Amino acid sequence: NAGVMQNPRHLVRRRGQEARLRCSPMKGHSHVYWYRQLPEEGLKFMVYLQKENIIDESGMPKERFSAEFPKEGPSILRIQQVVRGDSAAYFCASSSQRARETYNEQFFGPGTRLTVL
């Protein structure tokens, strides 16, 4: 059973370009979370999606960032007009749907390291 897949693993963009990060959750998982890790910091929650729905985007910057999880295909985190401050590691995690009395563990992908020149 393959784990969470993310691609590309490394992405270099110039200021003003667009970055698209992809995440394929574990088989059978329908919940996807995106986190960002800036240098020397912990992971910060960005957005939580289920198939075709954004459930919680409280951690997403208001401008330039968007996320989707279509019915078919991977989840996409899109950053428009990238700036140097967007340079970070972006991690995707997936979880299965479980009863609310048990915590639905999140499994993380290897991350995409975005560098903005």
Partner 1 sequence: DQQVKQNSPSLSVQEGRISILNCDYTNSMFDYFLWYKKYPAEGPTFLISISSIKDKNEDGRFTVFLNKSAKHLSLHIVPSQPGDSAVYFCAASGVSNTGKLIFGQGTTLQVKP
Task: Give 59's contacts (C-beta < 8 A, 6+ positions apart).
Answer: 44, 45, 46, 47
Q: Per CB under 8 A, which of residues 33..52 are in contact with partner 1?
A: 33, 35, 41-45, 48
φ, ψ of residue 48 in degrees (nearest 5)? -125, 125
Q: Is 12 in the site for partner 1 (CB under 8 A)?
A: no
Question: Are 5 and 23 in contact, with CB atoms under 8 Å apart?
Answer: yes
Q: Is 28 in the site for partner 1 (CB under 8 A)?
A: no
Nearer CB in complex with partner 1: 3/17: 3
At which residue do the structure tokens 């200021």 appear?
Answer: 15
Among 24, 31, 69, 94, binds partner 1 (CB under 8 A): 31
Q: Per CB under 8 A, which of residues 67..106 are in contact with partner 1?
A: 91, 93, 95, 100-101, 103-106
Q: How many CB atoms lie within 10 A of CB 94?
A: 26
Residue type, 66: S
Which residues sit at the interface with partner 1, rule CB under 8 A? 4, 6, 31, 33, 35, 41-45, 48, 55-56, 58-59, 91, 93, 95, 100-101, 103-111, 113
